[in-house]
């Protein structure tokens, strides 16, 4: 379990006097992560499962009915998230050969296999998820932005949530609007909204953990 | 988006618990294992909320939204519709979508502005999977009659009580009804847990299913019901804030009561506007200040909201637009006209309130209201 200085986070929240969602700590974390990963947009979401739901709805196409994955990526988790979005989850070995134009693809990226990852062709929607504690493998961090976006990454600490990376401003704005009205840049029409909000406590914990990691690296501790 | 500066008057409660009390709970968590033992403070919060609500069980969630989805997913029959009021929280139809159902909008009662039992009874059919009865933000819905209708038609009922943490209905604390009652711990609500929600129930089997719904480990039992699992556990730090807020709830309510009394006093002489009064025969939080524009003013509600906002006072159009008038990309149902909702929808306003409001701020808000109403009446 990744730890953080809880007292410091409480003090920061109370000092900022910002208790609802997407306040100064969440904004600072989004800025830090988008810079770190070299993408235009980092959208914080309450959990990795919510990030999957938010991205599925934000990237939704008319007539979409299947979420297609490799057999090794099929999991109860994916089945439930697909069902919540009204999608049937199919595990297909030859994904590109047997898929339909309206399918949305799910690709899991394990830390050991990042270099072997192949994205889908341009006509498909591909949602990729990093399924590892990426913060423990800092040399890989820069590579994630080269994978098809949106990309879901877990965040460290208990209840640390998740970040969705986008280069497309339009896709990112749809994701923000699906997430909640907090933190949107402008209102845009989306299929459905949910509460995928990210709290200031979550943001404070992740920032505190990442800052402590950075200072440990700098001081060699 | 409007910020949360401490000088900006808002319609959210934004209660600030005592720092040392929050840190005391953090220290308790650390003493019991800290980061390696998540859930310690959440379990304590659930226990305290059971005591507070006189409920046998309480299950905390990461948000109120997903608490509602969980209740509907686990309670509703296989029939496709969930009956909800149109005049309510703007995302309630979306909650029903995530529950895998179609929202069926019904009207509200003209006196209480709560979901109308008569409208619910008219709407019940073989398509009804559940009733989602929402307590309005001032006072409660007609719990007894709605429970009777649900019982007679053998339709499950879930109460959305996110704005009714401290209320009683006919002397009975909301949260003690025994079925499924959902609350929010968002910072804008009475108890500030930063973000969160919880469900009160006396049904152990339902509570066990709720716990499986929210856990981070997908159980084999859930595989039989796709969509019956959504990890949504509350972080302990949120629970620390909520526990501190719960300890200080009487202070919070007293503050709100003073604000309400100040509005009551000042608004009674202003023509063209009427405060929605709390039923003081019941226990109440006095949290939300809702007023209704009467026929005496030519000033529209939206213009009044604009005038207040321009003066740095965040007011909002109350539940506007109503859900049945919005457009949706997912199926919704509203076969009847909703005359009461249509008639009140443009007249109600949420006025600044909450912990950051001082009694001394009320006269300035009412001055702006009075001037706006006079100006637009040609006065």
d(CA B143, CA B145): 6
Give yes or no for A158 touching B (CB within 8 A): yes
Q: Chain A neighbours among B 279-338 (CB < 8 Å)?
A: 329-330
Report chain A residues whose CB lies below 8 A from the CB of B212.
none
A76 vs B222: CB contact, 8 Å cut-off? Answer: yes
A2 vs B35: CB contact, 8 Å cut-off? Answer: yes
| Interval B183-203 mean pLDDT | 97
Confidence of residue A135 (pLDDT cuts 50, 70, 90): confident
Substitution target from A199, A206, A208, A209 for chain B, most B beta carbons within 10 A: A199
Token code pair at residue B18: 């005592």
pLDDT in tens, B278-288: 999 999 999 99
Substitution target from B96, B160, B187, B195 for chain A, most A beta carbons within 10 A: B195
B195 vs A199: CB contact, 8 Å cut-off? Answer: yes
Neighbour-count burial of B119, counting CB atoms closer than 10 A to its CB (0-12 exposed, 13-18 middle, 19+ buried): buried
| Interval B66-91 mean pLDDT | 97
pLDDT in tens, B53-62: 999 999 999 9
Least confident of A214-218, B183-187, B219-223: A214-218
Confidence of residue B7 (pLDDT cuts 50, 70, 90): low
Identify whether the C-beta of residue B302 lies closer than 8 Å to the C-beta of residue B28: no
Q: Measured between CA atoms, how close is B297 to chain A, in angstroms?
A: 32
The dihedral formed by the CA atoms of B67, B72, B75 and B77, expressed in degrees to the nearest 10:
-170
Q: Return the closest-CA partner of residue B185 out of B232, B132, B218.
A: B232
pLDDT at A126 over 70: yes
Confidence of residue A117 (pLDDT cuts 50, 70, 90): very low
Compute how many other C-beta atoms are within 10 angstroms of the C-beta atom of residue B205.
Answer: 9
Confidence of residue B91 (pLDDT cuts 50, 70, 90): very high
Torsion-angle region of residue B157: left (phi > 0), alpha (psi -120 to 50) or beta?
beta
| Interval A103-127 mean pLDDT | 68
Give yes or no for A162 touching B (CB within 8 A): no
Q: Measured between CA atoms, how close is A100 to chain B, in angstroms?
A: 23
Residue of A nearest to B67 (CA): A195
Give the closest of B26, B188, B222 to A80, CB-based. Answer: B222
Confidence of residue A113 (pLDDT cuts 50, 70, 90): very low
What percent of chain B lies above the pLDDT cut of 70?
96
**In the prediction, which pLDDT does A95 show?**
67
B14 vs A76: CB contact, 8 Å cut-off? Answer: no
pTM: 0.95
What percent of chain A lies above the pLDDT cut of 70?
86
pLDDT in tens, A144-161: 767 788 999 999 998 889
| Interval B36-46 mean pLDDT | 95
**In the prediction, which pLDDT does B2 show?**
40
Confidence of residue B265 (pLDDT cuts 50, 70, 90): very high
**In the prediction, which pLDDT does A138 show?**
63
d(CA B102, CA B92): 11
**In the prediction, which pLDDT does A139 show?**
57
Report chain A residues whose CB lies below 8 A from the CB of B218.
75-77, 80
3-state secondary structure of B169: strand
Strand pairing report for B157-160 and B128-134: parallel
**In the prediction, which pLDDT does B375 show?**
81
pLDDT at B297 over 50: yes
d(CA B97, CA B255): 37
Q: Chain A neighbours among B 59-88 (CB < 8 Å)?
A: 62-66
Instruction: Provide the mean pLDDT of chain A.
Output: 87
Identify whether the C-beta of residue A184 lies closer than 8 Å to the C-beta of residue A177: yes
pLDDT at A192 over 90: yes
Instruction: Provide the mean pLDDT of chain B.
Output: 94
Substitution target from B194, B218, B241, B355 for chain A, most A beta carbons within 10 A: B194
Report chain A residues whose CB lies below 8 A from the CB of B26.
6-7, 10
Q: Read out DSSP for B111-158?
A: TT-SBPHHHHHHH-STTEEEEEEE--SSS---HHHHHHHHHHHT--EE
Report chain B residues whose CB lies below 8 A from the CB of A192.
94, 97-98, 329-330
Q: Measured between CA atoms, how close is A76 to chain B, in angstroms?
A: 7
Q: Measured between CA atoms, how close is B233 to chain A, in angstroms?
A: 8
| Interval A107-128 mean pLDDT | 65
Give yes or no for B91 touching A (CB within 8 A): yes
Strand pairing report for B181-184 and B197-201: antiparallel
Least confident of A64-78, A97-111, B239-253: A97-111
| Tokens 């959440």 sit on residue | B42
Residue of B nearest to A200 (CA): B194
Confidence of residue B295 (pLDDT cuts 50, 70, 90): confident
d(CA A204, CA B143): 41
Q: Chain B neighbours among A 20-49 (CB < 8 Å)?
A: 20-23, 46-47, 49
A194 or A109, which is more confident: A194
A82 vs B226: CB contact, 8 Å cut-off? Answer: yes
d(CA A96, CA B162): 46
Identify whether the C-beta of residue A20 lies closer than 8 Å to the C-beta of residue B238: no
Give yes or no for A181 touching B (CB within 8 A): yes
Confidence of residue B3 (pLDDT cuts 50, 70, 90): very low
| Interval A127-142 mean pLDDT | 78
pLDDT at A96 over 90: no
Q: Measured between CA atoms, how close is B294 to chain A, in angstroms?
A: 31
**In the prediction, which pLDDT does A26 show?**
97
Identify whether the C-beta of residue A26 lies closer than 8 Å to the C-beta of residue A198: yes
Give yes or no for B215 touching A (CB within 8 A): no
Report chain A residues whose CB lies below 8 A from the CB of B188.
20
pLDDT at B8 over 90: no
3-state secondary structure of A204: helix
pLDDT at A33 over 50: yes
Report chain A residues whose CB lies below 8 A from the CB of B187.
19-20
Substitution target from A19, A81, A82, A182 for chain B, most B beta carbons within 10 A: A19
Confidence of residue B223 (pLDDT cuts 50, 70, 90): confident
B218 vs A77: CB contact, 8 Å cut-off? Answer: yes
d(CA B188, CA B186): 5
A49 vs B231: CB contact, 8 Å cut-off? Answer: yes
Token code pair at residue B93: 């139809």
| Interval A23-47 mean pLDDT | 95
| Interval B116-135 mean pLDDT | 98
**In the prediction, which pLDDT does A92 show?**
85
Q: Measured between CA atoms, how close is B185 to chain A, in angstroms?
A: 11
Q: Measured between CA atoms, how close is A81 to chain B, in angstroms?
A: 7
| Interval A99-126 mean pLDDT | 68
| Tokens 């699906």 sit on residue | A178
């Amino acid at each position: 379990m990744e730890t953080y200085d809880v007292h410091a986070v409480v003090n920061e929240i109370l000092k900022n006097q910002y208790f609802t969602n997407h306040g100064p700590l969440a904004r600072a974390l989004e800025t830090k992560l988008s810079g770190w990963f070299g993408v235009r947009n980092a959208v914080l979401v309450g959990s990795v499962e919510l990030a999957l739901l938010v991205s599925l709805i934000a990237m939704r196409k008319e007539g979409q009915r299947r979420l297609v994955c490799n057999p090794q990526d099929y999991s109860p988790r994916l089945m439930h998230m697909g069902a919540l979005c009204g999608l049937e989850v199919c595990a297909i070995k030859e994904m590109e050969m047997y898929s339909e134009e309206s399918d949305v693809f799910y690709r899991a990226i394990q830390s050991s296999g990042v270099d072997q990852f192949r994205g889908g062709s341009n006509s498909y929607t591909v949602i990729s998820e990093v399924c590892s504690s990426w913060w423990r493998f800092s040399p890989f961090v820069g590579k994630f932005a080269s994978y098809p976006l949106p990309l879901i990454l877990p965040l460290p600490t208990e209840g640390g949530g998740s970040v969705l990376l986008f280069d497309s401003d339009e896709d990112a704005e749809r994701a923000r609007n699906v997430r909640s009205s907090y933190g949107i840049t402008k209102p845009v029409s989306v299929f459905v909204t949910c509460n995928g909000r990210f709290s200031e406590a979550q943001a404070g914990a992740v920032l505190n953990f990442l800052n402590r990691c950075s200072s440990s690296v700098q001081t060699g501790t | 988006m409007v910020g949360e500066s401490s000088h900006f008057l808002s319609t959210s409660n934004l209660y600030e618990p005592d720092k040392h009390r929050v840190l005391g709970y953090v220290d308790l968590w650390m003493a019991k294992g800290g980061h390696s033992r998540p859930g310690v403070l959440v379990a304590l919060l659930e226990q305290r909320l059971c005591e507070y609500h006189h409920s046998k069980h309480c299950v905390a969630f990461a948000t109120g939204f997903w608490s509602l989805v969980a209740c509907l997913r686990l309670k509703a029959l296989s029939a496709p519709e969930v009956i909800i009021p149109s005049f309510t929280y703007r995302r309630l139809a979306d909650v029903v979508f995530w529950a895998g159902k179609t929202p069926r909008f019904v009207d509200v009662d003209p006196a209480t502005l709560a979901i109308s039992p008569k409208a619910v009874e008219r709407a019940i059919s073989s398509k009804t999977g559940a009733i989602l009865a929402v307590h309005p933000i001032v006072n409660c819905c007609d719990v007894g009659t709605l429970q009777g209708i649900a019982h007679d038609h053998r339709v499950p009922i879930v109460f959305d009580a996110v704005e009714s943490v401290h209320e009683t209905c006919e002397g009975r604390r909301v949260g003690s009804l025994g079925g499924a009652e959902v609350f929010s711990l968002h910072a804008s609500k009475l108890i500030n847990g930063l973000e969160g929600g919880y469900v009160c129930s006396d049904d152990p089997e339902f509570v066990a299913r709720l716990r499986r719904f929210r856990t981070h480990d997908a159980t084999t039992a859930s595989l039989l019901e796709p969509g019956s699992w959504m990890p949504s556990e509350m972080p302990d730090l949120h629970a620390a804030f909520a526990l501190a807020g719960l300890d200080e709830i009487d202070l919070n309510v007293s503050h709100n009561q003073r604000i309400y009394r100040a509005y009551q006093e000042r608004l009674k002489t202003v023509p063209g506007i009427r405060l929605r009064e709390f039923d003081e025969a019941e226990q109440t939080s006095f949290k939300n200040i809702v007023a209704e524009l009467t026929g005496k003013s030519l000033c529209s509600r939206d213009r009044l909201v604009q005038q207040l906002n321009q003066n740095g006072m965040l007011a909002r159009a109350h539940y506007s637009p109503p859900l049945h008038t919005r457009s949706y990309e997912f199926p919704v149902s509203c076969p009847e006209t909703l005359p009461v909702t249509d008639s009140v929808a443009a007249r109600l306003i949420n006025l600044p309130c909450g912990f950051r409001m001082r009694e001394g701020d009320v006269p300035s808000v009412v001055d702006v209201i009075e001037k706006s109403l006079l100006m637009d009446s040609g006065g």
